[in-house]
Amino acid sequence: MIRAIFFSTGLFISLCGAILLGVDRLVLNPNVFADTAVSSQGRPWYTHMMYQRTDTISGFTETIFEPPDWVSFALLSIGAVVVLYSIAIPRKSK
């Protein structure tokens, strides 16, 4: 059971990293990320990778997430290590 949990977690992290390889920016709905996780400075922890842009025609404010280039490679490598660790866990003997 533990092997399956580690394997699926590592696979999920690796797939998120693979998806971010082809993504330059993500446009998010501003209502999705409410300011619930606030850091000690009073700002959300993810604001250094996000900014807001207001459309001049419709007046709609959209939040744009631009991940740095290293994030995709970091997620791929962390996920690969977790998958390899799940394979290395010894099976439970009966």
- The Cα 57–Cα 59 span in angstroms is 6
For 13-66, the pLDDT digits (tens) are 999 999 999 988 887 765 555 544 444 555 655 566 666 666 666 666 777 778
Q: Give me the mean pLDDT over the 5-19 stretch.
A: 95
Kindly report which listed range (4-18, 39-53, 80-94) carries the lowest average pLDDT score.
Answer: 39-53
What local confidence, expressed as pLDDT, does residue 38 receive?
47
Q: What is the pTM of this model?
A: 0.68
* Segments making up each domain of the chain, as ranges: 1-23+68-94, 25-66
